[in-house]
Amino acid sequence: MSDSKAAFQCRQCGICCLGRGGVRLSRGEAGLVAAFLKISPADLFTLYLGAGPAPWEIRTGPDNYCLFHQADGRCLIHPVKPGICRDWPFLPGPLKHESAFLEAKAACPGFSKELSWAEFLASAPGGRP
């Protein structure tokens, strides 16, 4: 299996948008998100981002979902969502450590059930890192 679509296909279940998982925006990403939402960077901070030790972290709501997660499972800022959301599951952890790959596979139903780590690596955009 070497096709990333066959290896991984998001089911839009929203599991990865649930809980305070440290999803942060970089300064550049925050500018893109503010422009996409047609609000000022200051309003982006007030309405959506964290305070205190992690000012760039996206806050979660009372339902414990990321504030950009919508009822239909879609991401409100999909075209400009942060790199960690955009690149999932091809992130440094699962690409470097089989244990991280297995954890990710157990948590996310988007992985093909029979997918091995070797197949995952081979299906990564750009091929094996």
Distance between CA atoms of residues 48 and 26, nearest Å? 14
Residue given tokens 């991401």 in the structure block: 75
Does the protein bind ligand SF4 through residue 10 (CB under 6 A)? Answer: yes
29 is written with which tokens?
């990403």
- Minimum CB–partner distance for residue 122 and ligand SF4 (Å): 20
Q: Is 36 in the site for ligand SF4 (CB under 6 A)?
A: no
Subset of residues 66 to 95 that bind ligand SF4, contact rule: CB under 6 A: 66, 68-69, 75, 77, 81-82, 85, 88
The alpha carbon torsion through 88, 58, 77, 105 (nearest 10 deg) reads 20
Contact 37, 77 (CB under 8 A): yes
Q: What is the rounded distance in angstroms from the CA atom of residue 49 to the CA atom of residue 116?
A: 36
- In whole angstroms, the minimum distance from the beta carbon of 70 to ligand SF4 comes to 8
Choose which of 110, 120, 121, 124 interacts with ligand SF4 (CB under 6 A).
110
Q: Which residues bind ligand SF4 (CB under 6 A)?
A: 10-17, 23, 58, 66, 68-69, 75, 77, 81-82, 85, 88, 108-110
